[in-house]
Amino acid sequence: MLTAAMLRSADGLVQLMKQHIDALVAQDPYLQEFLSWASQKSLIAPSPPKVASTRAFYLALARNPHIASHFTLACTLDQGMLLDAVLDNLLLECAIDRSQDFAYAHACGDALSNILSIVLDAGLHKSLQQLQEQLPNPNQNQERFQVWWQAHSSAWIEQLKMTIANYRNINQHWQFSQQQQQVLQRYYDANQLLLDCLNSNCDVTAAIRQEIEATLLLPQKELEDREWQ
C-alpha cells in the first residue's frame, strides 16, 4: 500500500496485482466452477450497486455455511441474498446433517415456515408450501410425525433440494480440500489487499479502477471473454 501511494501512477502495479491474484485460482477446475457459480448468482441480484459485492457474498457464504445467520444484517439490503442465506442454512441442516430425532425434524419444519414468510416469488412459494403441507402437524401427534419423518425424510429432502436448485441455483455444498481452502484464503486476502490499495491515496485512473472492480472474483473464462469484447 505504501508503494502504491508513492508511485506517480499506480496503474501498472494494480494491474499486475490483479493478474497475479487471478492466477492463484486459474489452474484449479473446481475453484473455477465455484467462481462461475458465484458469478451466475450475482447476475440475478436485482440491480446491485456492484456485482462484485454480490460475488463476494456468495463466496463467503459457500465457504462458511454454518455461520449463515451472521449474514442477515448485510442481507437486509437485498432480500434475495437473505433468502439464499436462509435456504442454504436449511439445506445444510436438513440435507447435510440428517437426523431422525424428532426435535431436529421439527426444527426443519419450523425453519421452512419462517422462510415462507419472506419468499416473494410465487412459484417458489407454492413449491415450498406444498413441501410444508406434506409434513404432519408435530403439535398434534409427535409419534406420527416421527414415523413419517423416518419413512419419508429422504424423498422429502430431495424434493426440497430440487426446488431450491431450480428456483435459486443453490444445488450443492462446496467441498474444498485443505489445500483449496488455503488457496481461497490467499485469494480472498489478496483481493482485499488490492481493494485496500485502490481505496488508499494511490493514483489510479478511473478506467483502470472501474475495470478492476468489475472483474473482481471472476472465473478465468469470463475474464478471457471480456478481453475479446
What are the pLDDT tens digits along the chain (229 aa)?
889 888 999 999 999 999 999 999 999 999 999 999 888 887 776 555 567 777 877 777 676 655 555 555 455 546 677 778 778 777 777 765 555 566 667 777 788 887 887 788 889 999 999 998 888 877 777 788 778 888 888 888 889 888 988 888 876 678 899 999 999 989 989 998 998 898 888 899 999 999 998 899 999 999 998 877 6
Which pLDDT belongs to residue 95?
A: 61
- pTM listed for this prediction: 0.69
For the range 179-186, what are the long-range contacts, defined as Cβ-Cβ under 8 Å and sequence gap of 24 or more?
A: 180/28, 180/30, 180/31, 181/63, 183/24, 183/25, 183/28, 183/31, 184/25, 184/31, 184/59, 184/63, 186/24
Q: Are 132 and 112 in contact (CB under 8 A)?
A: yes
Residue in 95, 57, 92, 98 with CA at minimum distance from that of residue 78: 57
Burial class of residue 179, CB neighbours in 10 A (0-12, 13-18, 19+): exposed
3-state helix, strand, coil in the chain (%, to 5): 75, 0, 25
Q: Are 70 and 110 in contact (CB under 8 A)?
A: no
